[in-house]
Chain A
Amino acid sequence: MVDEKQIKQWLKEGTITQAQAKKMMADSSSYKKEQSSNKLIVAISTIGAILLGIGAILFIASNWRTIPNIVKTLLLVGSTFGAYYVGYLFRYQKQNLPKVGASLIFLGALLFGATIFLIAQIYNINANSHTLMLIWMIGILPLVYVFMSMPIAGLLSLLFFIWVYLFFFLTRQSFWGWLEGFSSRYFPVLYVVAGVMLFGIGGLHYLSEKLHNIARIYRIAGLKVILFSLFLLTFNFFSQYRDYYGSQTDATGKFVVGFVIFSVLAIIIGVINWFFNKSEQISKIEGPVSLGLMALMLVFYYYPSSTTIYVIIFNLVLAGVIFLLLYAGYEREDMKLVNMGMFWVATFIVVRYFDFFWGLLDRSIFFMVGGLILVLGGIALERKRRQIKAQFKA
């Protein structure tokens, strides 16, 4: 849809008449209103679905014994299929409430997971079982492609990353098991690889015109996880090898298998995207960067170092990836990428400031300078962001 500025320009040039300009202005304004109201409906009904889904999960978590298990199961199974059916009815059969219908299908996907967890609770299946997460993922995967549902694609990405943790890092049933998993130095390594793989899978979706929206969801999810994991690797806690690490933080056989499988897939997909995927949405730099990251992860994993070399490398790599993200956002006029880039620039600067100057400066000067950097940095970033946004709109 054309904007007001363009219409005025055409009017000035004499390309269109006054009457045509008026009609175009009116159409453009009603289109914008419709778009914004559609977005609001989608946002509200998706939030509603999320709240209902969380409510169902919390209901299960409370394990209320007043209602017999069979009634609870029937109630939840009924709600799952009910939401799914009504969603389908609204969106496809009657087509009277397509946006709400899509949200109800999403609610069905959430309730399907809740049902799985309820059954697992009734039969006392081990807590934090990765199998349950896998069953949930398998159950909702077809929905993504049949209904082209972006929220379900987002849910699937989230479940995938939770599954990676439960399967590869949660080695035993206790609080310490969770902590050991998070503090494993291989934790960010596997997430970078898994993130690159999901990002690549997203790229493959660009091969089909119909899957463009889904592609973006996977790519953004992959990108977020890559950036967060690289950020963790900039700390020597994760990237500097120490002999005193106990056996619990060493890589398990399961980790090695996962690391190899994810790496091979990520590399194959990266190569396909680089050489054979001609989609305009894929920038030329993506292929080499993805494969470069994979190479770095393999070198880091197989050749650990007790020096600070990897700390320096990962700081440079993170800075480079953020720069490329901002560049890609600017080039494609994609505000989401710019915002993500800006967020990481700010986080990166603040954290490194604390790292480098905490020991060097007097405490009072440290906090004053830090405060000043934050305030001025905040103003500069906000200005730049607005500037870019205004440029994109123009």
Chain B
Amino acid sequence: MEKKKLFLIIGIFWAVIIFGFIAFKEFTLKTGEEVLLKTRPVDPRDLFRGDYVILTYEISSLDTSALQTDVTEFKQEDKVYVSLNKVDNYGIALGVYVNKPKEGLFLKGTIKNVQGSRLNLEYGIESYFVPEGKGREIERQRGRNLDVKVAVDKLGNAVIKDLLIDGKVFRFE
């Protein structure tokens, strides 16, 4: 194949990756159901993307003995679905499943650690990127009600929409 054609194919390939990536996230944001998650932050730094706040949610640590499940044993790195019940717009965990639930609101996650009946999970929404040096601003809000508004689509993918402090959307000055 001649160079020009290959050059164009690679260009199109890049465009598909970049815009596909954007479309995938926009799909979740536009079609997803909004839900609030209770959270608490700590502040490190990413190698390529600058300052961010690590977010840990109430649903990041779940006791399976108090929840519905479809298996008897969970393993580290298992992909699971956490079904949520909305109470005053807050997502409360109802069950943890290895198989995708057929209906309802659920989040896709990965088990990071298993300690007895307690699971530590990640949902891909644990980082909130902030302008350089502004991570502490959020950290200082500890003790106040810190929530994250996420959009969750039908497949269980979630994207962070806003960070809320005492119910108000937090904006950097």
Q: Mark A112-139, 1 if CB is under 8 A from B, else 0.
A: 1001110111011111100010010011
Are A124 and B125 in contact, with the CB atoms below 8 A? yes
Are A116 and B18 in contact, with the CB atoms below 8 A? yes
Q: Which residues from chain A contact B14 at a C-beta distance below 8 Å?
A: 80-81, 84, 112, 139
Q: Mark B126-137, 1 if CB is under 8 A from A, else 0.
A: 111111100000
Q: Which residues from chain B contact A60 at a C-beta distance below 8 Å?
A: 48-50
Whether A119 touches B11, Cβ cut-off 8 Å, given contacts A65-B172, A173-B127, is: no
Residue of A whose beta carbon sits closest to that of B160: A124
Cβ of B6 within 8 Å of any chain A Cβ, yes or no, is yes
Are A146 and B159 in contact, with the CB atoms below 8 A? no
Residue of B21, B46, B49 contacting most chain A CB atoms (<10 Å):
B49
Cβ of A174 within 8 Å of any chain B Cβ, yes or no, is yes
Cβ of B58 within 8 Å of any chain A Cβ, yes or no, is no
Whether A173 touches B54, Cβ cut-off 8 Å, given contacts A119-B18, A146-B10, is: yes
Q: Mark A42-65, 1 if CB is under 8 A from B, else 0.
A: 000000000000000100111111
Residue of A whose beta carbon sits closest to that of B16: A139
Q: Which residues from chain A contact B160 at a C-beta distance below 8 Å?
A: 123-124
Interface size on B, residues (CB 8 A): 45
Whether A63 touches B130, Cβ cut-off 8 Å, given contacts A173-B122, A252-B76, is: yes
Are B127 and A61 in contact, with the CB atoms below 8 A? no
Cβ of B167 within 8 Å of any chain A Cβ, yes or no, is no
Cβ of A254 within 8 Å of any chain B Cβ, yes or no, is yes
Q: Which residues from chain A contact B131 at a C-beta distance below 8 Å?
A: 62-65
Could you tell me the distance between the alpha carbons of A132 and B159 in the complex, rounded to whole angstroms?
16
Could you tell me the distance between the alpha carbons of A80 and B14 in the complex, rounded to whole angstroms?
10
Could you tell me the distance between the alpha carbons of A117 and B15 in the complex, rounded to whole angstroms?
15
Cβ of B47 within 8 Å of any chain A Cβ, yes or no, is yes
Q: Which residues from chain B contact A65 at a C-beta distance below 8 Å?
A: 131, 172
Q: Which residues from chain B contact A93 at a C-beta distance below 8 Å?
A: 4
Q: Mark A84-99, 1 if CB is under 8 A from B, else 0.
A: 1100100011000000
CB distance from A275 to the nearest CB of B (A): 32
Residue of A whose beta carbon sits closest to that of B15: A81
Q: Which residues from chain B contact A85 at a C-beta distance below 8 Å?
A: 11
Whether A120 touches B49, Cβ cut-off 8 Å, given contacts A126-B127, A139-B14, is: yes
Cβ of B77 within 8 Å of any chain A Cβ, yes or no, is yes
CB distance from B82 to the nearest CB of A (A): 16
Q: Which residues from chain B contact A61 at a C-beta distance below 8 Å?
A: 46, 48-51, 132
Whether A121 touches B49, Cβ cut-off 8 Å, given contacts A81-B14, A146-B7, is: yes
Q: Which of B9, B120, B127 contacts A127 (CB 8 A)?
A: B127
CB distance from A248 to the nearest CB of B (A): 9
Whether A253 touches B129, Cβ cut-off 8 Å, given contacts A61-B50, A80-B14, A128-B46, is: no
CB distance from A302 to the nearest CB of B (A): 20
Q: Which residues from chain A contact B13 at a C-beta distance below 8 Å?
A: 139, 142
Cβ of A211 within 8 Å of any chain B Cβ, yes or no, is no
Could you tell me the distance between the alpha carbons of A342 and B118 in the complex, rounded to whole angstroms?
52
Are A135 and B11 in contact, with the CB atoms below 8 A? no
Whether A117 touches B49, Cβ cut-off 8 Å, given contacts A63-B131, A123-B159, A126-B126, is: yes
Whether A126 touches B125, Cβ cut-off 8 Å, given contacts A61-B48, A135-B17, is: yes
Are A175 and B44 in contact, with the CB atoms below 8 A? yes
Could you tell me the distance between the alpha carbons of A85 and B9 in the complex, rounded to whole angstroms?
12
Q: Which residues from chain B contact A142 at a C-beta distance below 8 Å?
A: 6, 9-10, 13
Cβ of A77 within 8 Å of any chain B Cβ, yes or no, is yes
CB distance from B151 to the nearest CB of A (A): 10
Cβ of B140 within 8 Å of any chain A Cβ, yes or no, is no
Are B54 and A116 in contact, with the CB atoms below 8 A? no
Q: Which residues from chain A contact B48 at a C-beta distance below 8 Å?
A: 57, 60-61, 117, 132
Are B127 and A62 in contact, with the CB atoms below 8 A? no
Residue of B whose beta carbon sits closest to that of A129: B124
Could you tell me the distance between the alpha carbons of A142 and B16 in the complex, rounded to whole angstroms?
14
Q: Which of B15, B50, B124 contacts A125 (CB 8 A)?
A: B124
Could you tell me the distance between the alpha carbons of A115 and B21 in the complex, rounded to whole angstroms?
11
Cβ of A172 within 8 Å of any chain B Cβ, yes or no, is yes
Q: Mark B36-68, 1 if CB is under 8 A from A, else 0.
A: 000000101011111110100000000000000
Interface hits, B84-121 → A, CB 8 Å: 112-113, 120
Are A139 and B126 in contact, with the CB atoms below 8 A? no
Are B76 and A253 in contact, with the CB atoms below 8 A? yes
Q: Which residues from chain B contact A175 at a C-beta distance below 8 Å?
A: 44
Q: Which residues from chain A contact B159 at a C-beta distance below 8 Å?
A: 123-124
Residue of A whose beta carbon sits closest to that of B125: A124
Are A116 and B112 in contact, with the CB atoms below 8 A? no
Known: A61-B132, A174-B44. 9 other contacts (CB 8 A): A63-B131, A88-B7, A115-B18, A126-B125, A127-B126, A135-B17, A143-B10, A146-B10, A252-B76
Using a CB–CB distance below 8 Å, which chain B residues touch chain A?
3-4, 6-7, 9-11, 13-15, 17-18, 21-22, 25, 29, 42, 44, 46-52, 54, 75-77, 112-113, 120, 122, 124-132, 159-160, 172
Interface pairs A-B: 4 shortest CB-CB: A61-B50, A127-B46, A127-B127, A123-B25
5 residue pairs A–B, Cβ–Cβ below 8 Å: A61-B132, A93-B4, A116-B21, A125-B124, A253-B76
